[in-house]
Amino acid sequence: MRRALITGITGQDGSYLADLLLDRGYAVHGLVRRPEAPAERIAHVRDRLTLHAGDLLDQQSLEDALLASRADEVYNLAAASSVAASWKDPAATGETTGLGVARLLEAWRRARPEARLFQASSNEIFSAGGSVDESTPVAPRTPYGAAKAYAHHLVLAYREAYGLFCASGILFNHESERRGAQFVTRKISSGVAAIKLGQAEELRLGALEPQRDWGYAPDFVEAMWLTLQREQPADYVLATGRAASIRDVVALAFAHVGLDWREFVKTDEALKRPVEIEPMVGDASKARRELGWQATTGLETIIGRMVDADLERLANVGPA
């Protein structure tokens, strides 16, 4: 039985990856700060997981988890993952999302170097507009992007210096019914559901013009797994190649429940980011060619599933 260790297992991507690996016969281990704490996203498989107490801020805890799990594959999905929040506390973002990867890589090199490691990188390491791929110069414009860029370069350095199997997936936006409440797509789907159920009268958002390449999280965790099945490690842009604006997402969400978004959405200057990256899409042709992977779930389907999940949640338990 192959063994995997997932950091960030209680998050959106971690929970979907746990589902995928369990379905493929893995013994799945997860790194969490407090194993006894409730974790909604993995509750349905909790009795099939082995959780280890640990933190990206504590290198010894990482070594202990690697030794205890005897992992064949390590997936680092833990991070301070909100771009907006990174502007409020850039030091904390750098500590976890950047230096945390340094601690993990060193713990892995010492405790379990025979394992293969996947690092969740981000399109926020880029600032160029248009279509970007693995050769696009790294030039972040946000604290989150800067921390991810440090981690991205460090993975390459460990691969070249020590000959270890470590690879990065440069992930563009990917959403799902398990998306965190702090992300704009979930704010939209939850807000639309609340309005439809009569629990709210308006939805306040920042800028509606920014565009993103939006994918579906279950599609993306498949690519993570495929990346570690290759004979040689490599980095891959993981994206749909299609852009849509926040306004487009809003329109799809309200249309899903038969409402006109213009009657309910209010823009709020306080919710806008200090800096917006240029509109970009990811060129995932390398992933298609070498991994046989491509994003298959369209944006309308993704947003519809998110709205339906929030309608069910709010109808059962009321407003969050």
- The residue among 162, 69, 166, 187 whose CA lies nearest residue 121 is 166
Token pair for 188: 């939209």
Q: Are the CB atoms for 57 and 95 separated by under 8 Å?
A: yes
Give per-residue burial for 141-152: e unless 16+ CB within 10 Å, then b.
bbbbbbbbbbbb
Q: What angle do CA 78, 88, 60 make, to 5 degrees?
A: 35
CA atoms within 13 A on the CB side of 179: 27
Give per-residue burial for 60-72: e unless 16+ CB within 10 Å, then b.
ebbbbbbeebebb
Secondary structure (3-state) at 199: coil
- The residue among 127, 123, 160 whose CA lies nearest residue 284 is 123
Catalytic residues: 122, 124, 144
Q: Are the CB atoms for 128 and 79 separated by under 8 Å?
A: no
Q: Are the CB atoms for 247 and 208 separated by under 8 Å?
A: yes
Q: Are the CB atoms for 175 and 216 separated by under 8 Å?
A: yes
- The residue among 302, 247, 236 whose CA lies nearest residue 279 is 247
Q: Which helix or strand (DSSP H or E) is residue 84 part of?
A: helix 83-88
CA atoms within 13 A on the CB side of 107: 26
